[in-house]
Amino acid sequence: MLTIRDLHVRGGGHEILRGIDLSIDAGEVHAIMGPNGSGKSTLARVLAGHPEYEVTAGDVRYQGEDLLAMDPETRARAGVFMAFQYPVEIPGVNNAYFLKAALNAVRKHRGQDELDAMEFMSLVRDRMKLLDIDQALLNRPVNEGFSGGEKKRNEIFQMAVLEPTLAILDETDSGLDIDALKIVAQGVNEMRSPERALLLVTHYQRLLNYIVPDVVHVLTEGRIVRSGGKELALELEEKGYVGLEEAPAARA
Amino acid sequence: MATVINPAGAYTAAFRRLAARVAATQPDWVTRRRQRAIDTFERLGFPTTRDEEWRFTNVTPIAETEFVPAGDALAAGNPPAVESFRLPMATAELVFVNGRYASALSKVGSLPPGARVESLASALTSHASELEQHLAHVAEFERQAFVALNTALWTDGVFVSVPAGTVLQSPVHIMFVSTGIRQQKSDTAGGCAAITHPRVLVLAGRDSQFSIVESYLGASDGRYFTNAVTEIVLGDQALVEHYKLQAERDISYHMATIRAVAASNATFRSHSIGFGGALVRNDVVATLSGEGAECTLNGLDFADGTRLVDNHTMIDHAKPHCSSRELYKVILADRARAVFNGKIVVRPDAQKTDAKQTNKALLLSEDAQINTKPQLEIFANDVKCTHGAAVGQMDEDALFYLRARGLALRDAREFLIHAFAGEVLNKMPLEALRDRADAELLRQLTRSGAGR
Ligand SMILES: Nc1ncnc2c1ncn2[C@@H]1O[C@H](COP(=O)(O)OP(=O)(O)OP(=O)(O)O)[C@@H](O)[C@H]1O
Ligand SMILES: [Mg+2]
């Protein structure tokens, strides 16, 4: 589904990603772990199409197509979803109204009918329940004044509504209390299917107890320095990232 | 630097013609006030950019154009724009086409006892004494050339009077529609255009409550100049919600003054929404002349091309325990320019004043420009006055967030522009007008391509 080859990315005058190779098949869950500043969010944002980064080399294929040639909205409509590490507050834009517009943009692309406000509400009701989102949150401006946990739950709620094919979750577990983590993990697990792929960026093994990955990658200084099974996450929890830079990168 | 091109000649001639025509019918006091106003205008001439109040707004295009009274030069007709701007729920709807009252297009439903909504010209005979007390006494013109010009040359407008304790459930709507004079290709710079001087007087009796909507519309591609003055007098505890929707043509000029005086515990709210005009200047001046009076001044403008919109506001806190809230926002595209000057005066005995002013600009292009200046003159010591100004471009992170969920760039930009505008529009209690302003903004953005 997703094939990244030798991806080099610059941002703010620095080379942040320095040759990423990564391949994810439908039905798989991959986790990316790595120290602060290693380039995890940069990778997620580049895959979503953030205009602030410059791809200097490499190539990304999504369902056989050149992902980097698409603008962000085209990627979203084609089924790429990135849950933001820091969801943006947008005063004055109603959360429900925005999500309805987003859903209709995606549906239109899929050749489905657009939904009116009533149809939208009946469609999102059970997703709201799943992620414990109440009506008040839906009626507020996008992310404005949301607590950290509410922002993260709102991201996963959006994902549950938009039903992407490839979901990239950037530290969705950070800042969640244990109950919220379970709710979010349950929401994500509901989405798992043989047609979907998931890329989880996280610092904590804890999330991976709930959403069990097929492959774990370690990203350090813009490169994937190790890949392995879910037990790699446990090893990292124990030993940290120290010394991994020298380890040979292994392909899963 | 603007130089004054002997404007007074043409206006003096217009004044003489008008005076001869109305001499027999208008009361002496009107004649005297008109005379004083034309004398003042002749003394002042048009303002230049040397005048601090007009530093960033050059009115040379107006000074150099020969204007003819629209009512003399143009037929009344029934421009289609009238129908699309009607407010079906209005208590009364008075329509003026090229400065003339169009009674066939207007309707005055049943009003509560003692309430009046009628053309100012007819009120001059029917309610002369009420008018004498206020007309041209509320809006100063000693140093305001355009107000002086209107005071000398107005031919019609609206008189609204709502007696003590009376509440109007639905708004009074006043529409000033201009068709303007089409320009010939052969016309040299300056050319010839039509002028109107709409005049509105609103008297809100003690404990009365109502809303007034003034709509200014351009109905063809002709050139014209609207020079409007509105005077509003609020009695004790009165509440007036005043809306102005300015949708003039982009080649028109629009100079307008709204002058309000609020007595004890009265509430004056002004919502000024502007979308058109090549050269636009709004002066909104409110005096809180009784204890506990409140005023809210909100404004939203959009300008593109090389248009200029200038908002000057002044809130005079003359008495203790008054509060004022002010929020002016502007959206600028292309090489458009805006000026905001917000003056707040707190007089020596206006203790416990609570004033807050905010001005924000959204620049959609690198070449758009705003000059903003808060001007606080505080002579009392126990007061709370704050002001803030922010100038910014579209939030790139917000844009990306919206696009990353599937919204087209154009729609994402439109969402953010609407969100910016919404902070002002959502303060308008009249939903029909809010929707209209929103739709008009969308139409403007689409037309100018600024949403892209
Ligand atoms: N737009 C940018 N301009 C300049 N520097 C950037 C930009 N984006 C990221 N960086 C830098 O690139 C490096 C990687 O940042 P990134 O956000 O990808 O790290 P991360 O692995 O997600 O870290 P964390 O675990 O703290 O979230 C950091 O040093 C960061 O400061
Ligand atoms: Mg990060």
- Least Cα distance to B108 among B95, B99, B96 occurs for B95
Sequence-distant (6+) residues with CB within 8 A of A101 are B407, B411, B415
A149 CA to centre of ligand 1 in angstroms: 22
- Residue with the smallest CA separation from ligand 1 atom 16 is A39
Question: Coil, strand or helix: which one is B440?
Answer: helix
Q: Which residues pair with B315 in a beta bridge?
A: B286, B344
pLDDT in tens, chain B (452 residues): 344 445 557 888 889 999 888 888 899 999 999 999 999 999 999 999 999 999 999 999 999 888 888 877 777 677 878 898 999 999 999 999 999 999 999 999 899 999 999 999 999 988 888 899 999 999 999 999 999 999 999 999 999 999 999 999 999 999 999 988 876 655 544 567 899 999 999 999 999 999 999 999 998 878 899 999 999 999 999 999 999 999 999 999 999 999 999 999 999 999 999 999 999 999 999 999 999 999 999 999 999 999 999 999 999 999 999 999 999 999 999 999 999 999 999 999 999 999 999 999 999 999 999 999 999 999 999 999 999 999 999 999 999 999 999 999 999 999 999 999 999 999 999 999 999 999 999 988 888 776 55
Tokens of A78: 């084609």
Q: For residue B406, give the nearest of A51, A52, A76 by CB distance.
A: A76
| Alpha helices in B257-350, H assignment, sequence order | none
Residues from chain A contacting residue B396 (CB–CB below 8 Å):
51-52
Q: Which among B450, B364, B406 is positioned nearest to A49, based on CA atoms?
A: B406
B406·A73 Cβ contact <8 A: yes
Phi, psi of B122 (to 5 degrees): -75, -30
Q: Checking DSSP bridges between strand B279-288 and strand B116-119, what pairing results, if any?
A: unpaired
The whole-model pTM stands at 0.91
Contact A106 B408 (CB under 8 A): no
pLDDT at A27 over 70: yes
Q: Cite the beta strand spans of B197-352 per DSSP E.
A: 199-204, 209-218, 224-234, 239-247, 253-262, 267-274, 279-288, 294-303, 308-317, 323-332, 337-346
ipTM for the whole predicted complex goes beyond 0.90: yes
Sheet order of strands, A14-24 included: A14-24, A2-11, A54-62, A65-66
Kind plus residue range of the DSSP H or E element containing A138: helix A135-138
Measuring from atom 4 of ligand 1, which residue has the nearest CA? A12
Q: Residue B126: its pLDDT value, please?
A: 87
Q: Which is the closest atom of ligand 1 to the Cα of A219?
A: 21
Beta bridge partners of B268: B240, B295
Q: Token pair for residue B334?
A: 């292309």
Tell me if residue A187 falls in helix, strand or coil.
helix
pLDDT at B290 (0 to 100) = 98
- Residue B343 and residue A225: Cα distance in Å, rounded? 63
**DSSP bridge partners of A66:** A61
How many other CB atoms sit within 10 Å of the CB of residue A199?
25
Measured between CA atoms, the residue of chain B closest to residue A110 is: B406
Residue B21 tokens read as 């025509």
Answer for the pair A29, A185: CB distance below 8 angstroms, yes or no: no
DSSP A9-62: EEETTEEEEEEEEEEE-TT-EEEEE--TTSSHHHHHHHHHT-TT-EEEEEEEEE
pLDDT digits (tens, 9 = 90+) for A59-70: 999 999 999 999
Ligand 1 atom with minimal separation from the A35 CA: 25
Q: What is the pLDDT of residue B451?
A: 52
The residue ranges of every structural domain in chain B are 8-290
